[in-house]
Amino acid sequence: SIPIAKQLASIKALGKGSDLEKAFATVALVYNNSADPEGKLSKAETKSLLQTQFGSFTQGQENKPKYQEIISALDEELENKIDFEDFMILLVSLTLMSDLLQEIKNVKTTK
């Protein structure tokens, strides 16, 4: 398995890409590295990926009803698979409810 940083470096269009472009490319690469040949993830794989790659955003969310609803949906109907679009919606939903987002908003930038 080739490290994500090396995969990113191999994408010529991102050579001078912005931080945001590289962030989204990283998401796509992490997803693609875990997806099946059809480009989809099982719900169990999705849950595992969230735990291993998105833990800082999901930490402390376990008692929130919306988080429980999302995770419960991943535990049900395991034969259903998640495509990249649904995965991105899931990441955005979890980010919006995370405590880490507020901490990020509070970071002061120097200009």
Q: Mean pLDDT, 10 residues at a time, over the chain (111 residues)?
A: 83 82 90 94 90 90 87 76 92 90 82 62
Strands annotated E in 1-111: 41-42, 81-82
Q: Which of 98, 100, 106, 88 is nearest to 64 (CA)?
A: 98
Q: Alpha-carbon distance 92 to 94, whole Å? A: 5
Report the pLDDT value the prediction gives residue 34, as an integer from 0 to 100: 93
Q: Residue ranges per domain, the chain?
A: 1-34, 39-110
Q: Alpha-carbon distance 60 to 67, whole Å? A: 10
Q: Alpha-carbon distance 106 to 9, whole Å? A: 31
Q: pTM for this one?
A: 0.81
Report the pLDDT value the prediction gives residue 36, as an integer from 0 to 100: 94
Say what percent of the chain tops pLDDT 90.
33
Q: Alpha-carbon distance 38 to 45, whole Å? A: 14
Q: What is the DSSP string of 78-96?
A: TT-EE-HHHHHHHHHHHHH
Report the pLDDT value the prediction gives residue 87, as an integer from 0 to 100: 93
Q: Which of 48, 40, 51, 53 is nearest to 87 (CA)?
A: 40
**SS3 (DSSP) at 44:** helix
Report the pLDDT value the prediction gives residue 54, as an integer from 0 to 100: 92
Report the pLDDT value the prediction gives residue 91, as an integer from 0 to 100: 93
